[in-house]
């Protein structure tokens, strides 16, 4: 699929801000199922971003704006080509014990231990046991069933959780947005020892739910030996397909923040995000 | 983005002065000078009114009103106190922390600034400010009244003099010294104008009162507030003539509290701080200081009285404010605290 | 009446000065013993008082913050020096140089190819889960490929007098200022004794440190600007920060004095912005840059990490060194030395059990009351259980913690730390000591001869830290063997 994505973040300050230092993770990655054909980052006030590749292979652009400004606009435009579904291999069946004894699992230790947003508390483990009460199977099968479990038993409700809500809190509330669904799903997988990582990106939504935020999206990937990282979206109860565009991966939200930084001056700022994901025939569509 | 500054050859990198440190030295110095001046102002006027027990209530009130007016804090005073009496004015000017210009507030602020640069000043300098701070924390208006205000004000003045003496004896003649002196003279010049201005605010009901006993006593109090009485008498053997007292405090180039003397110092230290080596000053602050100095070197008291003494003093205050502010902005500026920011959910 | 009494109790510990009989003096302490025998106790006390007063006046203090005011305390100083003969020191020096060489290669590997993890010498999970493994600096180069420029390695001696490494301190090791001040005090207190011994100087520390910092400067100018970055007056080690800055003649700055523009770091001065080339930072990584690490840190400089990544500023020590002084990684250092250098370690570790390893964990849980158990990341003696000296309840509580979070704990057999005669209530009594030499990694690796000997002043105590009742002694490394 050929997709064009516009992601514009506008910060408005009460007063003047200055000495603003920022890191952004907005450039879609290149991997086996996706190619970022073009990427453009526009900043207002103007600044020249530098970039580097972080620990997880995500591209981080960083820039600073010294002079006073009342508004900051960060606008990313990308053109991405995703591998059609038919051309994607299916995920093989691998038993949990094969996973546990696989040679590489140890290199992914950070993906099955506690992280900032996903502390592995016993409630998550219990929930995972409940969700798989019909019996254990192979790794990918379990990942999908855990995801479905969340889809069925949690309510998608914006404004009930916040940007710092952790997996165990969302579990108690049994509601949230895609970030929370992803964190809980990670908690369930990790409680069973399955290495799983957080994915941030976009998804071309052909059927939007009422009041569903058109924003960047979050889902997970689980490690299946012999295959690699297999993606599942608990918010929509399906494996990620060619409608999904990956931007960054990490242990949880803390590793993939689309924009973060500090500034001096104005006591508060408000935030507005515009995301547009559209299908194209390969040519750049004006924003 | 302006390119990095090339340091003047006289200042090797190791002796570079941080803006933050300059800022603290400047304000530490200003606050101590301010505290001392307020102490003297209060003390002299309390003494003056003791000498004139016969003044009626209205005159007393006028007198205290004028003190408050000269500090520029009449609105703030009115918010917290009904009438200006010796007690309320002493409370306001000595102990009230709601007044940023009170002696207590000034000493606290001086100490806070000193603490932040403690490793830059000598141990004795720090101990002096600290001891004054401890002493003030232990007093209140009632104590002052009971114990006799003179003792209290004497302590403040002594501590200020000791601090200045120690600074003179133990602080290296470096860039830090320049900021300390600059701050002191800016503050002192400002306070001299306000001491002079007190007289303006006291409105004498009759023309015949000019030159009378009360008028003369009031001018004496003005001179005393600037510790200038003895020096004045040495310069003018005759009795105190109002315009001569004003002239002395404005134009004397040898008396260390006179405007002329202070502005000459300001001009000198300013040029050193801003590294202005040419004969003609370049920066706005240095030019303003030079112009003011030129006025003080050439104007006559008659011209000033014609123009209006009060107007002249107000202009000087504004000029001093501008000079101080500009120097702070160009050399001592450091930004306000960082803010946190929020993120958006996915 | 002299201080050296006839009934000095050497106990069952290795005593620095006396043979086990408590009477025979070791050769390198003979001169000191003779001096103390002829010195009247009153005279000794006078010198002691003079030294204490001097410390107070010079402000050689550290601050304990129990309240908002903070109390300044003198780090107690004992006048009896610890003396090390030259041949002993030679071995220590070689061992310390070997150790830091290997640790530096280890750090470089962890932040680049991670070969040691792929070769399964060190478990990947330990590194990836380490609190101080800084992903933010992965794959970035550091000036001269040196990660640790200043290292303080703590050494102890066992009952046989063998030196063992207790732990490495690779982030912001402190105490060098006390080492220097102690030397000044001893020279004044015992000038003749000092010169008769031929003690190797430590006064070169400041110069050597500055040299190793200058070695890191980018090629911008032939007069690089080096600064010391401090958290400020409220930090307990502030005295040391100002002391060292003055020794080196460099400016001392706080985070708010620095600003980053175009990935370069500048100081805000009265003459405008002045570029900074090297920062000796005494702030932990967590607080260094709110854009990259803790966002609530007011102590750091936004954009500083970006400037370090771009190579425009050098940080000493580099970002991320904490992963190698993690108490659990400590247990792997002998393997690390072998892996990178192909050598056996010259200095041995204390025998360590890893709670992360199943067999070790079982042993720890079953024998906790006999062991010293340490939390992987706590500093200063906190988060530590000394089994034999603890109550049953304390042991139980620790056992539960270890069981719940094994990755975070190690255990060691209690070592009978060596003792040194220390002035206690009018006589000399044995008190447990350790040694922290300072290693500087510049163009060459240098180990300052001596270091800080810390002494646990409380009778029987093994805890030497200043905040918990410790004191210090001057350390004399001799030119010769006596």
pLDDT band, residue B210 (cuts 50/70/90): low
Q: Which residues pair with C452 in a beta bridge?
A: C436
Do A113 and A51 share a structural domain?
no
d(CA C123, CA B286): 66
Q: Say yes or no: A51 contacts chain C, CB-CB below 8 A.
A: no
Delineate the domains of chain C, giving CATH numbers in brackets.
97-151+203-341 (3.40.50.11290), 352-412 (3.30.1490.270)
Do A159 and A79 share a structural domain?
no
Do A109 and A207 share a structural domain?
yes
Question: Residue A176 is part of a domain; what is its CATH number?
Answer: 3.10.620.30
Please indicate whether residue B256 or residue B174 has the higher confidence score (pLDDT): B256
A48 close to A64: Cβ distance less than 8 angstroms: no
The average pLDDT across C381-399 equals: 85
Q: Say yes or no: B53 contacts chain C, CB-CB below 8 A.
A: no
Collapse the DSSP code of B85 into the 3-class scheme (helix H, G, I; strand E, B; otherwise coil) and give the result. coil
Q: Say yes or no: A121 contacts chain C, CB-CB below 8 A.
A: no
pLDDT at residue A211, as a whole number: 61
Q: Which residues pair with C153 in a beta bridge?
A: C168
Q: Of the given ranges (A247-256, B50-59, B281-290), which has the lowest mean pLDDT?
A: B50-59
Please indicate whether residue C36 or residue C98 has the higher confidence score (pLDDT): C98
d(CA C44, CA C3): 8
Query: Over the stretch B18-31, which tens digit does the pLDDT of each residue have?
Result: 999 999 999 999 99
Q: Say yes or no: B9 contacts chain C, CB-CB below 8 A.
A: no
- Can you say how many angstroms the Cα of residue C8 is from the centroid of all Cα atoms in its chain? 30
Query: Over the stretch C100-109, which tens digit does the pLDDT of each residue have?
Result: 999 999 999 9
Q: Is A248 inside any structural domain? A: no
Contact C266 B4 (CB under 8 A): yes
Burial annotation B185-213 (CB, 10 A radius, 16+ → b, else e):
bbbbbbbbbbbbbbbbbbeeeeeeeeeee
Using an 8 Å CB-CB cutoff, list chain C residues near B179: 270
Tell which of C131, C140, C266, C306 to mutate to test the A interface (max A CBs under 10 Å).
C306
d(CA A190, CA A178): 18
**Number of H-type helices and E-type strands within chain B:** 16, 1
Q: Is A250 inside any structural domain? A: no
Q: Beta strand pairing status for C77-84 and C278-281?
A: unpaired
Do A106 and A148 share a structural domain?
yes
pLDDT at residue B12, as a whole number: 45
Do A217 and A263 share a structural domain?
no
Contact A177 B335 (CB under 8 A): no
Do A134 and A172 share a structural domain?
yes
pLDDT at residue A12, as a whole number: 93
Nearest-CB residue to A264 (from B1, B336, B344): B336
d(CA C117, CA C125): 9
Do A117 and A16 share a structural domain?
no
Question: Is residue B165 pLDDT above 80, yes or no?
Answer: yes
Question: Is residue B226 pLDDT above 90, yes or no?
Answer: no
pLDDT at residue C105, as a whole number: 98
pLDDT at residue B202, as a whole number: 64
Q: Of the given ranges (C147-151, C209-213, C372-376), which has the lowest mean pLDDT?
A: C372-376
**Number of H-type helices and E-type strands within chain A:** 6, 14
Q: Is A249 inside any structural domain? A: no
d(CA A184, CA A150): 8
pLDDT at residue B2, as a whole number: 40
Question: Residue A67 is part of a domain; what is its CATH number?
Answer: 2.60.40.2250
pLDDT at residue B173, as a whole number: 83
pLDDT band, residue C296 (cuts 50/70/90): confident
Tell which of C237, C269, C302 to mutate to test the B interface (max B CBs under 10 Å).
C269
pLDDT at residue B1, as a whole number: 37
Tell which of B3, B8, B13 to mutate to test the C interface (max C CBs under 10 Å).
B13
Nearest-CB residue to B346 (from A178, A261, A262): A178
pLDDT band, residue B8 (cuts 50/70/90): very low
Contact B339 A271 (CB under 8 A): no
d(CA C222, CA C49): 47
A-B CB pairs within 8 A amount to 58
Query: Over the stretch B137-157, which tens digit does the pLDDT of each residue have?
Result: 877 767 776 777 888 888 899
Nearest-CB residue to A21 (from C138, C291, C310): C291
C457 close to C471: Cβ distance less than 8 angstroms: yes
C148 close to C100: Cβ distance less than 8 angstroms: yes
Using an 8 Å CB-CB cutoff, list chain A residues near B344: 9, 163, 215, 258, 271, 273
Using an 8 Å CB-CB cutoff, list chain B residues near C275: 4
Task: Provide the terminal-to-terminal Cα distance of chain B, rounded to the nearest Å.
Answer: 36
Using an 8 Å CB-CB cutoff, list chain A residues near C128: 109-110
Question: Is residue C6 pLDDT above 80, yes or no?
Answer: no
Q: Is A286 inside any structural domain? A: no
Share above pLDDT 70 across residues of chain C, in percent, rounded to a whole number: 96
Do A105 and A52 share a structural domain?
no
Do A110 and A153 share a structural domain?
yes
Please indicate whether residue C402 or residue C339 has the higher confidence score (pLDDT): C339
Q: Which of A181-195, B35-49, B212-226, C363-377 has the highest mean pLDDT?
A: A181-195
The minimum CA-CA distance between B286 and chain A, rounded to whole Å, is 26
Task: Count how many domains chain A has.
Answer: 2
Other beta carbons within 10 angstroms of residue C444's beta carbon come to: 11
Question: Is residue B211 pLDDT above 50, yes or no?
Answer: yes
Task: Show the domain range for A116.
Answer: 89-240
pLDDT at residue B32, as a whole number: 96
Contact B340 C271 (CB under 8 A): no
Using an 8 Å CB-CB cutoff, list chain A residues near C310: 50
Q: Which residues pair with A3 in a beta bridge?
A: A80, A279
Q: Does an H or E element contain C462, and which?
A: none
* Average pLDDT of chain C to the nearest whole number: 90
Token pair of C261 as six digits = 């523009």
B223 close to B249: Cβ distance less than 8 angstroms: yes
Query: Over the stretch B189-199, which tens digit does the pLDDT of each residue have?
Result: 999 998 888 77
Nearest-CB residue to B118 (from C233, C272, C302): C233
Do A217 and A97 share a structural domain?
yes
Q: Is A246 inside any structural domain? A: no
Contact A19 C302 (CB under 8 A): yes
Q: What is the ipTM of this complex?
A: 0.88
Query: Over the stretch B166-179, which tens digit does the pLDDT of each residue have?
Result: 999 988 888 899 99
Q: Is A139 inside any structural domain? A: yes
Phi, psi at B92, each rounded to 5°: -65, -45
Query: Over the stretch C7-61, which tens digit does the pLDDT of each residue have?
Result: 788 888 999 999 988 889 999 999 999 999 888 888 999 999 999 888 877 777 7
Contact A215 B342 (CB under 8 A): no
Do A137 and A118 share a structural domain?
yes
Query: Over the stretch C311-321, which tens digit does the pLDDT of each residue have?
Result: 999 999 999 99
Closest CA to A75 of A261, A258, A202, A265: A258
Q: Is A8 inside any structural domain? A: yes
Do A236 and A96 share a structural domain?
yes
Residues of chain A under the 70 pLDDT cut? 208-213, 282-287
pLDDT at residue B3, as a whole number: 43
């Amino acid at each position: 699929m050929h997709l064009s994505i516009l992601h514009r973040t506008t910060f408005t300050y009460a007063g003047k801000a200055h000495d603003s230092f920022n890191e952004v993770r907005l450039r879609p990655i290149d991997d086996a199922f996706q190619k970022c054909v073009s990427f453009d980052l526009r900043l207002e006030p103007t600044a020249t971003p530098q970039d580097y590749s972080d620990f997880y292979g995500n591209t981080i652009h960083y820039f600073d704006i010294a002079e006073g400004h009342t508004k900051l606009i960060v606008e990313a435009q990308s053109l991405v080509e995703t591998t059609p579904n038919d051309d994607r291999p299916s995920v093989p069946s691998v038993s949990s014990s094969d996973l546990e004894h696989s040679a590489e699992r140890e290199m992914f230790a950070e993906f099955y231990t506690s992280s900032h947003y996903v502390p592995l508390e016993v409630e998550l483990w219990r929930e995972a046991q409940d969700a798989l009460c019909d019996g254990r199977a192979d790794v990918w099968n379990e990942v999908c069933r855990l995801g479905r479990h969340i889809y069925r038993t949690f309510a998608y409700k914006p404004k009930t959780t916040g940007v710092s809500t952790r997996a165990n809190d969302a579990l108690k509330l049994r509601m949230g947005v895609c970030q929370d669904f992803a964190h809980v799903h990670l908690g369930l997988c990790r409680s069973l020892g399955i290495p799983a990582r957080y994915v941030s990106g976009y998804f071309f939504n052909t059927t939007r739910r009422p009041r569903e935020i058109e924003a960047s999206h979050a889902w997970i990937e689980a490690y299946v030996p012999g295959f690699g990282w297999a993606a599942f979206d608990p918010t929509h109860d399906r494996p990620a397909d060619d409608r999904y565009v990956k931007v960054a991966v990490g242990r949880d939200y803390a590793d993939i923040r689309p924009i973060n930084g500090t500034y001096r001056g104005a006591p508060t700022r408000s935030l507005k995000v515009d995301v547009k994901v559209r299908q194209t025939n390969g040519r750049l569509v004006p924003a | 983005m302006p390119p990095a500054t090339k340091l003047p050859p006289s200042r090797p990198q190791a002796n570079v002065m941080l803006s933050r440190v300059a800022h603290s030295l400047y304000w530490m110095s200003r606050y101590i000078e301010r505290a001392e001046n307020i102490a003297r102002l209060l003390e002299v006027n309390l003494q003056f009114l003791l000498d004139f027990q016969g003044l009626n209530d209205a005159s007393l009130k006028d007198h205290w009103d004028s003190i408050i007016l000269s500090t520029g804090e009449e609105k703030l005073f009115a918010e917290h106190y009904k009438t200006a009496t010796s007690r309320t004015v002493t409370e306001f000017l000595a102990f009230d922390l709601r007044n940023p210009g009170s002696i207590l507030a000034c000493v606290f602020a001086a100490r806070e600034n000193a603490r932040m640069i403690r490793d830059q000043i000598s141990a004795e300098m720090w101990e002096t400010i600290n001891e004054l701070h401890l002493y003030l924390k232990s007093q209140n208006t009632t104590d002052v009244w009971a114990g006799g205000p003179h003792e209290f004000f004497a302590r403040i003045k002594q501590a200020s003099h000791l601090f200045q003496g120690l600074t003179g004896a133990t602080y290296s003649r470096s860039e830090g010294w320049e900021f300390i002196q600059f701050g002191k003279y800016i503050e002192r010049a400002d306070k001299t104008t306000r001491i002079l201005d007190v007289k303006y605010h006291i409105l004498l009901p009759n023309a015949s009162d000019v030159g009378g006993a009360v008028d003369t006593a009031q001018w004496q109090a003005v001179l005393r507030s600037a510790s200038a009485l003895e020096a004045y008498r040495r310069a003018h053997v005759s009795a105190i003539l109002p315009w001569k007292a004003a002239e002395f405090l404005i134009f004397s180039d040898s008396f260390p509290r006179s405007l002329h003397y202070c502005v000459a110092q300001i001009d000198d230290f300013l040029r050193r701080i801003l590294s202005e080596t040419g004969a003609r000053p370049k920066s706005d602050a240095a030019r303003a200081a030079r112009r003011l100095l030129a006025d003080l070197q050439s104007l006559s008291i008659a011209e000033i009285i014609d123009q209006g003494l009060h107007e002249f003093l107000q202009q000087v205050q504004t000029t001093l404010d501008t000079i101080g502010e500009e120097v702070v902005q160009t050399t001592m500026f450091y930004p306000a605290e960082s803010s946190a920011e929020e993120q958006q959910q996915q | 009446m002299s201080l050296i009494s006839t009934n000095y109790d050497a106990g069952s510990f290795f005593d620095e000065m006396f043979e086990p009989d408590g009477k025979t003096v070791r050769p390198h302490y003979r001169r000191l013993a003779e001096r103390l025998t002829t010195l009247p106790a009153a005279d000794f006390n006078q010198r002691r008082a003079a030294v204490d007063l001097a410390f107070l006046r010079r402000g050689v203090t550290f601050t304990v913050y129990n309240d908002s005011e903070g109390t300044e305390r003198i780090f107690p100083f004992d006048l009896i020096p610890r003396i090390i003969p030259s041949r002993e020191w030679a071995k220590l020096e070689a061992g310390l140089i070997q150790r830091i060489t290997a640790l530096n290669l280890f750090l470089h590997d962890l932040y680049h190819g991670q070969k040691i993890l792929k070769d399964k010498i060190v478990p990947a999970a330990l590194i990836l889960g380490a609190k101080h493994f800084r992903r933010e600096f992965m794959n970035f180069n550091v000036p001269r490929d040196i990660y640790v420029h200043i290292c303080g390695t703590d050494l102890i001696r066992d009952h046989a007098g063998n030196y063992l490494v207790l732990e490495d301190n690779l982030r912001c090791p402190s105490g060098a200022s006390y080492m220097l001040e102690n030397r000044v005090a001893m020279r004044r207190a015992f000038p003749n004794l000092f010169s008769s011994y031929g003690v190797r100087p430590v006064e070169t520390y400041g110069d050597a440190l500055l040299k190793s910092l200058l070695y890191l400067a980018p090629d911008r100018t032939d007069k690089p600007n080096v600064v010391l970055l401090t958290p400020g007056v409220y930090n307990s080690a502030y005295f040391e920060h100002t002391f060292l800055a003055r020794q080196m003649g460099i400016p001392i700055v706080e985070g708010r004095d620095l600003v980053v523009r175009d990935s370069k770091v500048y100081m805000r001065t009265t003459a405008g912005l002045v570029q900074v080339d090297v920062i000796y930072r005494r702030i932990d990584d967590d607080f260094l840059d709110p854009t990259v690490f803790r966002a609530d840190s007011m102590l750091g400089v936004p954009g500083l990490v970006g400037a370090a990544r771009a190579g425009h500023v050098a940080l000493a020590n580099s970002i991320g060194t904490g992963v190698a002084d993690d108490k659990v990684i400590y247990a792997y250092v002998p393997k690390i030395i072998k892996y990178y250098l192909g050598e056996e370690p010259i200095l041995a570790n204390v025998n360590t059990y890893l709670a992360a390893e199943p067999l070790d964990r079982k042993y720890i849980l079953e024998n906790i009351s006999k062991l010293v158990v340490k939390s992987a990341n706590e500093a200063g003696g906190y988060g530590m259980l000394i089994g034999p000296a603890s109550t049953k309840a304390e042991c139980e509580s620790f056992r539960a913690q270890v069981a719940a979070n094994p990755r975070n704990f190690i255990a060691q057999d209690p070592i009978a730390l060596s003792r040194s005669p220390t002035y206690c209530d009018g006589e000399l009594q044995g008190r447990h000591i350790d040694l922290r030499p300072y290693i500087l990694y510049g163009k060459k690796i240098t180990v300052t001869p001596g270091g800080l000997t810390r002494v646990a002043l409380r009778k029987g105590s093994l805890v030497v830290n200043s905040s918990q009742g410790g004191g210090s002694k001057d350390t004399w490394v001799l030119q010769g063997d006596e």
